[in-house]
């Protein structure tokens, strides 16, 4: 990645973690890998609002894949860009956070961080 893109990404993450920006803009195409179904799920991830959570079931319905919740959950788990594509906002139907590649504690911290930023 060229240094100007790396610098832009660093600024975007800094803005996200200081609460100044609610998304992290990736300088490269985030959907250049994965199957068409994975790309569809990842695009739906990008549309989940900051500070909110939805269930895997709700995400599957948004993708028109209500019959394929497990496949949607698998695509969420294969998200190549944590935080950029906010898979931490997807939780289990029972309200528990579920798994996260960076660990469940980190997932809960990100959810809490975003929620707290909205209530400040």
Active site annotation includes 63: no
Tell me, what's the pLDDT at 30?
Answer: 58
Q: Which CATH class is domain 30-119?
A: mainly alpha
* Residue 31 scores a pLDDT above 80: no
Tell me, what's the pLDDT at 2?
Answer: 66
User: Any idea which residue has 């497990």 for tokens?
Assistant: 70
| β partners of residue 91 | 55
Tell me, what's the pLDDT at 74?
Answer: 97
Average pLDDT over residues 71-89: 93
**The 3-state secondary structure of the chain, one letter per residue:** CCHHHHHHHHHHHHHHHCCCCCCCCCCCCCCCCCCHHHHHHHHHHHCCCCCCCEEHHHHHHHCCCCCCHHHHHHHHHCCCCECCECHHHEECCCCCCCCCCCCHHHHHHHHHHHHHHHHC
* Residue 63 scores a pLDDT above 60: yes
Tell me, what's the pLDDT at 120?
Answer: 65
Tell me, what's the pLDDT at 1?
Answer: 59
Residues 6 or more apart whose Cβ sits within 8 Å of residue 67 = 60
**pTM of the model as a whole:** 0.87
Task: Please give the mean pLDDT across all residues of the chain.
Answer: 90
Tokens representing 90? 């997807």
Q: Which of 87, 90, 91, 110 is catalytic?
A: 87
């Amino acid at each position: 990645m060229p240094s100007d893109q790396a610098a832009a990404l660093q600024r975007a993450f800094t803005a996200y973690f200081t609460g100044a920006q609610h998304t992290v803009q990736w300088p490269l195409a985030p959907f250049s890998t994965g199957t068409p179904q994975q790309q569809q799920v990842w695009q739906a991830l990008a549309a989940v609002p900051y500070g909110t959570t939805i269930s895997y079931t709700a995400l599957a319905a948004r993708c028109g894949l209500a019959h394929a919740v497990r496949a949607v959950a698998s695509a969420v788990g294969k998200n190549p860009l944590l935080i950029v594509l906010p898979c931490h906002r997807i939780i289990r139907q029972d309200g528990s956070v579920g798994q996260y590649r960076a660990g469940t504690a980190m997932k809960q911290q990100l959810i809490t961080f975003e929620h707290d930023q909205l209530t400040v």
